[in-house]
Chains A and B, each alone.
Chain A
């Protein structure tokens, strides 16, 4: 099917970096991420009839994301604390505090470690928003949760990152 292949290479392959970046941040292991991206692309290719055109990036990232979460469920203990208090409860610390001093000098690597320490769903929100520049709506479609949940995850992830920065420079 040369036409289909050309169409696939043209629309889905350009997002390989985005796919690998997301997988790498989710499973936190480079060779595993490569295997999972390959698997995701295989599924994408098999299911290419289901792709109606337009921007393929959210489409392939949804497949990558689901592939990675399946792997995470089978290979590690999920951070259930996120599922429990997510959604309806507002965390005092998640509202930005105008009084808080934001340290100007940040050690390189602090933020990277802080992101690694976040639960997977928070990490995913930050990666999709800040590294991929996706909209709330696109992130909500990829993650399969309402926009309100995306916003809440971002707010709480950012609050935790800020706390790590402040703690590291204290």
Chain B
């Protein structure tokens, strides 16, 4: 198990493109941390720098308090599972699993023992004589995982290992990886752009955008309190509804319009909004915090038109529009039905509203 520390880590490519900018982060021993962000945000670059496969422009990487900037990847004792698995095509599954051990001059009996234990954990013991091209995607993924596991490294680096699997297999492997982490209690850095993976797997999520860390925290912390509109809009599907509106404060009341719906809030509950009097802000509300029925008397109302009803099976996503054409999403019960363009009323609890500065896009707390 390893503790990994990144201090002011920066990566600038020769064509002057900054992939990673001033990243500082401490990953605790035995922690499962997920790097989440859109394509090109620098998450894989950070992972590759930790692995030693990518050079560092500035900053430092420490593994167990030892700076490893100039340590070759072969000596960092880390294991990586690549997105495309990167199995050795000319070796059998046994060869793939044992290659790292052979290079470390492990005894033959020890190699056989470790390969046997690992292949049993991953249920690939019947595939040991096969070549990678004779395996399915899921089996190849298990072999890639096995190649990392068998070496018993100080930390595992997962570079989107589930993204090439179909939805069903991805779900299964997600659970397998979580179980594996519980069993081994090893340090894992998992890179993904899939927010379901991030929410379900990580002890902590590190959200990245344009080479910078935007927010770090537990999945629910981030979900409930996004620091800006990027995080609010990135996490969950459908994401948080974000609506621009101008607020005005008078007589201890905050008024704003969501299209043609006037909303009034008591100033005493939102003191931080006083600075924004007569200014535009962004109001956010999660799809599950909007209702088609009134749950309690204190709920506020919104009049909207139905645009689309997306029945997903276990739930239904309702797409509605305000009079000004702005679309918002909400989750409703699975049997909900409504006609196109039907005028309906939505309800929400004002305490569930989030506010963001329209200039900086940061949350107003």
- Decide whether A and B are members of one complex: no
